[in-house]
Amino acid sequence: MRIGDLAARTGVSVRALRYYEEQGLLKANRSGSGQRHYPESVVDRVDLIQMLYAAGLSSRTIAELLPCV
């Protein structure tokens, strides 16, 4: 799915999703024209990231925890 679709499904802004990618929290496949494409499983990952941010964790801490989940 494209980044706008992911934003609509998760309620997270496109800007925040780009930030998550910059921080290494999300990975996107890129099309030949550079558009981001995400697998369906990323919806759950974004929900988890949102919960961890709401719990007060930093992006660095979240990046350390995600491989364990």
The pTM for the full model equals 0.88
- In this prediction, residue 34 has a pLDDT band, given cuts at 50, 70 and 90, of confident
Measured distance CA(4)–CA(60) in Å, rounded: 25
- In this prediction, residue 69 has a pLDDT band, given cuts at 50, 70 and 90, of confident
User: Which carries the bigger pLDDT value, residue 32 or residue 7?
Assistant: 7
> Based on the number of CB atoms within 10 Å of its own CB, is 18 exposed (0-12), middle (13-18) or buried (19 or more)?
middle
Domain of residue 44, residue span: 3-66
- In this prediction, residue 36 has a pLDDT band, given cuts at 50, 70 and 90, of very high
Any idea what the CATH number is for the domain that residue 7 is in?
1.10.1660.10
